[in-house]
Structure 1
């Protein structure tokens, strides 16, 4: 205690002799993991996500106590400064480390922020990768009733978070725009009474959007999230509709939305199909052409009806990773030429790497983001742990159904045995294959994908596509930063823009 007190209270530098008199190879190990980065280097990662790229074999030297401060003072100093080793049994800054760890998990403080309302299953598109069943008629049967809208809003406003997001999905959500207006206006009446601020998002293919709808969105500060899979030949092939003009309608809708709402209020999301894999550069350039300066390179989701069309939708993870790297390379070329252009998935991972702050992205949280970050209210009032789990229910798999708006209270939904089971299987600090992975602080856990692809919520890491994808993308990002300081600066700018 006396030594610790001296170190804590006296912040002055010691005389050089103080350090020279220490045993050069006496140090204590702090929690860390390592992974091979390439043939020459490996990366060390500690509990709070600090990483250090070192020569291959360094980890072995560290744990075998073969590292000598006198022989390599720079490396020794980096290891101490970045909390991989300590010269005292209890590190002087252990309280700082604890605070940083709590900060990384701060997303749990506010619990569920994203509430998805499936306003209708009706849709005028027939996308071959659609993850849910869709219908074209019977409004009363396949639209969310106002009674269920009311009950969903009441449950949403019970969230402990002071800020929540209400996201309207479908089908095509704009087919039920009257109900969206009803929901928005009800929330405006109630949110102030609960001291909540609410962000509204409409997910739409934009085929039905018009000036009247967008003026309403502007008045009520509603964000628009749409889909753009690439150039016309890709988008029209992926997202089919009568007339084969989904691309033309999407571009017209994006332009109109940007003009009325402003560019920052409109986003687009792409889905990678088998066709997409051959055109990474063209897809990136389409986003640039349409004025977007960010994009999300997203693989197809292995849920619901999307898995039925294997010819168009099924591919090996290695092929997606090849596509991802080529597309990311084109995005970096824009940045190196002076254009600010981000890739969203990389930015989320980099934020976990380069900042002390948590992220709200469901797939990369531990405990898992389903339930703790997101909940989904289906059109019929049933409640699911996430949007993906309601897609499984469309295939008659109700593993992740938590209840129903007609019969279950907030407590019965969020504190049930089923909810506890789902969340407990999604803690990567305790999952075999995750707990000792160097990239665990940057990754998450997805019991829903594990169940859908492997038949088990815990999953099996050696054959997990989720694991394979994230491990390689994380490794690749670290390698890029280590090889090229200009790219490291670009990545830092991406993170700062999202802070």
Structure 2
């Protein structure tokens, strides 16, 4: 292109359009807010602000926006666009109240604020996991266990949450190394719950190496759930989650079996982390969960926080995880085709957002973000953090998301303080460049902590964001399956019924 032609095009581009160019009265319909995404070279999906979607041939979005769509030529598509609130025959849609109600339903989690309260009851641990995100210690419980005073203040903080349904989750380190403190905390919470009108769920996160009948009988009496880690078959789990002088896998499986025997099959859950070693074995990992009697698996990539990525062997590209995820999901769908109900839980969360009017309170896929709104963390030393991930950053002396201290600050100072106010300016994807115009934003979320950890900026830059790249491709892939594979679509839809 020669210089004169370039200058002419540049001037044409920079000129303001005539008012008539934006006149919605042209044509027989008015546009309502929606966007599109190409799910492959032949198909695109239209998605509006409340998550309604339509699969259409490529180029349809452009014809709709240019007012080239004719009701006479394509009556079925026209009616679909009307009924799903993509276009309206009136300048103000008569369904605006319905749309507003559905939008409020999507954001209902904001009415009740924080539900998950994580108590890092001890930093001590007897494992040496390859991807551990915190600096674990093995001794000095007075220094590395949460004090009773901090436990009291944490419970007092939890009781002030507007949410009547709260979860008290005990983490470590290895939480069972401070089991007496857990019992103290549960007893204290049980005494205060009826006074504050709270329904409390209790969860202990443990590697199960220390579990025994006495602990499990206590859990049964007090309705405490067990959450553990299982990274796959023995040759994967033991490499990822090393315990000196014995097999971590053997202890975990033994602990799962004993926990199920005493508590009940569904009172024990497991979570896996995809290490670089795990990437080679998607089918084997899925098979392990299925063979151990779980009803599903959560395919979780490694988190870029704390000490987890201190060595090169723990790092891998987003594309590598996505390849792992798709191979694993293919195996999961095969299991379902064989007549077994078995889910992938990250996909299930996204599918709930796509296929229902409701929102699952999963921290990583909320807008406004789940940090503070959905979860808050009380560290062993009394420090309060916005999320578990921000606590992990603090292990590397980065206190950007430290909100205060249980013994020094009030609930109001922490929840409504200056740092929370600063975070709140970037926690809604509807206001972020690169997110606000994305068709998938209603299914996705915002994560200022991830932005800070990976890009050094809480606002973030979507084009090279691993968080964005992973979520966009998973959402696109699931939509493609819903569109082109009838059998897979039926299976995916059955997961949320």
Q: CA deviation at 1:244?
A: 3.8
Where in structure 1 are there 5+ consecutive unaligned residues?
Answer: 1-22
Task: Summarize the Cα distance change of 1:31–1:339 in structure 2 as closer, same or farther, 3 Å threshold.
Answer: same
**Where do 1:14-33 residues align within 5 Å?**
25-33=27-35
Alignment-derived partner of residue 123 in structure 1 = 125
Q: 1:138 aligns with which of 140, 147, 152?
A: 140
Structure 1 segment 291-310 matched on structure 2, within 5 A: 291-310=293-312
1:358 Cα deviation from its structure 2 partner = 1.6
Spell out, residue by residue over 1:225-256, the C-alpha distance to the aligned partner (whole angstroms, 9 max, x if none): 00000010110000011124100000000111
- Tell me how far apart the structure 2 counterparts of residues 448 and 135 of structure 1 sit (CA, whole Å): 25
Per the TM alignment, residue 24 of structure 1 is displaced from its structure 2 partner at its CA by 11
Distance across 2 between alignment mates of 1:219 and 1:123: 26
Q: What's the CA shift for 1:379?
A: 0.2
Quote the Cα distance in structure 1 between the aligned partners of 2:150 and 2:26: 68
Q: Which residue of 2 aligns with 1:79?
A: 81
Where 2:377 maps in the other structure, the secondary structure is strand
Equivalent of residue 264 in structure 1, options 260, 263, 266: 266
Which structure 2 residues correspond to residues 50-449 of structure 1 after superposition, within 5 A? Answer: 50-311=52-313, 313-449=314-450
C-alpha separation in 2, matches of 1:260 and 1:449: 39
Alpha-carbon distance in 2 for matches of 1:220, 1:329: 39
Q: CA deviation at 1:368?
A: 0.7
Residues of 2 paired with 1:373 and 1:283: CA distance?
30
Cα deviation per residue 1:189-223 (whole Å; 9 max; x = unaligned)? 00000000000000000000001101110111111
The aligned counterpart of 2:469 is: 468
Check whether the contact 1:117–1:379 (CA below 8 A) recurs between aligned residues. yes
Shift of 1:489: 1.8
Q: Give distance in 1, aligned partners of 2:70 and 2:275.
A: 52
Q: Secondary structure at the match of 1:359?
A: coil
Query: Take 2:341 and 2:27, find their aligned partners in 1: how far apart are those partners?
Result: 46
2:489 aligns with 488
Q: Contact 1:117–1:166 (CA<8 Å) still a contact in 2?
A: yes
Give TM-score scaled by structure 2 length.
0.94
CA contact 1:116–1:377 (8 Å) conserved in 2: yes
Q: Distance in 1 between matches of 2:232 and 2:424?
A: 36
Q: Cα distance, 1:62 vs. partner?
A: 0.2
Whether the 8 Å contact between 1:24 and 1:70 is mirrored in structure 2 is no
Q: Distance in 1 between matches of 2:233 and 2:468?
A: 30
User: Which string of whole-angstrom CA distances, capped at 9 and with x for unpartnered residues, describes residues 399-421 of structure 1?
Assistant: 00000011100000000110011
* Counterpart for residue 42 of structure 1: 44
Give the whole-Å Cα distance in 2 for the aligned partners of 1:373 and 1:397: 22
CA RMSD in angstroms, aligned pairs only? 1.0
Which whole-Å CA distance do the structure 1 matches of 2:390 and 2:265 have between them? 32
Cα pair 1:383 1:403 within 8 Å, conserved: yes
1:356 deviates by 0.7
**Cα distance between partner residues in 2 of 1:218 and 1:342:** 27
Q: Which residue of 2 aligns with 1:9?
A: none
Per-residue Cα deviation, 1:259-317 (whole angstroms, up to 9, x for no partner): 11111110000000111001000000000111111110000000000010221x10000
Q: Which residue of 2 aligns with 1:5?
A: none
Determine helix, strand or coil for the equivalent of 2:149. Answer: helix
Distance across 1 between alignment mates of 2:422 and 2:55:
37
- How far has the Cα of 1:495 moved from its partner? 1.2
Separation in structure 1 between the aligned mates of residue 211 and residue 326 of structure 2, nearest angstrom:
34
Cα distance in 2 for partners of 1:49, 1:146 equals 46
User: 1:117, CA displacement in angstroms?
Assistant: 0.1
